[in-house]
Amino acid sequence: MRRRIGRPFAPLSVPNYRRFFVGQVFARCGVWVQTVAELWLVLSLTGSGVALGVTAALQFTPMLLLGAWAGVWADRLPKRHMLLAAQTWMIAPAVALALLTATGAVELWMVYALVLARGLGKAVENPVRQSFVMEVVGREHVAAAVSLNAAVVSAARFVGPALGGTLISFAGVTPCFVAGSMAFVVAVGALISLDVRALHPATLSVRRPGQLREGMRHAWSNPGLRVPLAAMAVVGTLAFNFQVVLPLMARYAFEAGPGTYGALAASMGAGAVLGAIVNAGRGSPSLVGLATPAVVFGTAMAALAAAPTLALALAALVLVGASSVAFTASTNSLLQLSAPPTIRGRVMALWSVVYLGSTAIGGPLVGWISGHAGARAGVLVGAVATLATGIALLRRAGRESPPAGLRDQPYEPAVGGQRAA
């Protein structure tokens, strides 16, 4: 029993991972504090659900357009150096927003521009960070490390919005942007402190034409990669739009302010932390292990959409958080373990594109639906899409053997733009 309890935290025995972990705790919390402030600022300036959707789209459009290329660069260049550059870049928009809001000079177009600038950094930072995990901990601990990273993101969903909502209530949005910039300073310092001799760097790909197509072709031809990516694309587009629906739920469904928004996001984050820790101890990922949290996730979102009181919405969001992080961590682990090392950056970039970049499409769509039919309708769209995805995955798992339903196909690198014989 003691061994099983300790297994989710085994990656923390790696000194480099401990430093990386601490840095990412600060970075993820900083992102959420800043995001809460950006969204509340936009809502205060416009009162529009569509404007919130546009804000989400601007943040994630660079991921949709550039994320796959970031994966190509991650396979060619040292990932630690790329991560340092991207996280350093992300300090600047937070500093600019702090200055603009402190002086009262902020306008909507400025917020849009700076959100887009942060999105450019995120388009590089996210796929590189996802694929860098394997280099920090090695193959042995990667599944648990992915779930612990998901716990970091989830804890940030709990701490970040709670801190952001509190700061906004008492001091306005400016302190949130100051906190966001300082958090990335800490993250950059943690990356600088890593012992490069203890890393497990993947062999870098030699630059040649067609590498993006090569990675996409292999991902499509291999069920071990194609199925998790397709599932994440559907759920990411229609369900992971909490940045849009939660502020609207707080303001219009429950007629409350930033404190309630922070409480909604924090409840989801608290459940997500629990879900990430439990998922880290589940062992090898499987297709059934991906389908089950999808079904629970969809059911919990339906409960959230129907919740008549704030208390019931908060309870539903705990389950939403736990099941959503189990779903994303499962897709991530399946891809990390199925992808050949020489194209892992490209594969994880595709995951980042369908997970985050899909918000550029889903955010405005769900914002428009919420604006015309209410925030609950926007949540219900995600519930239906996620339930349908989970049921489809269960049916596939029942038809195929081995139980995971995912067979790897050998990777054959392209030579001169063609597959090697």
pLDDT of residue 278: 76
Helix (H, G, I), strand (E, B) or coil at 11: helix
pLDDT of residue 223: 79
pLDDT of residue 406: 46
2-411 falls under which CATH superfamily?
A: MFS general substrate transporter like domains (1.20.1250.20)
| Distant-in-sequence, close-in-space partners of 49: CB < 8 Å, separation ≥ 6 | 244, 248, 367, 368, 370, 371, 375
pLDDT of residue 87: 92
For the segment 152-201, what is each residue's pLDDT rounded down to a tens digit? Answer: 766 676 677 778 878 888 888 899 999 999 999 999 999 999 998 888 77
pLDDT of residue 411: 44
Q: Which amino acid is at 5?
A: I
pLDDT of residue 248: 86
DSSP lists the bridge partners of residue 419 as 414
Q: Which residues of the chain have pLDDT under 70?
A: 1-8, 139, 143, 147, 150-151, 153-155, 157-158, 202-212, 215, 280-285, 341-342, 356-357, 400-421
pLDDT of residue 421: 26
pLDDT of residue 419: 30
Helix (H) or strand (E) segment spanning residue 419:
strand 418-419
Q: What is the 3-state secondary structure (H, E, C) of 298-359?
A: HHHHHHHHHCCCHHHHHHHHHHHHHHHHHHHHHHHHHHHHHCCHHHHHHHHHHHHHHHHHCH
Residue ranges of domains in the chain: 2-411
Helix (H) or strand (E) segment spanning residue 398:
helix 375-399
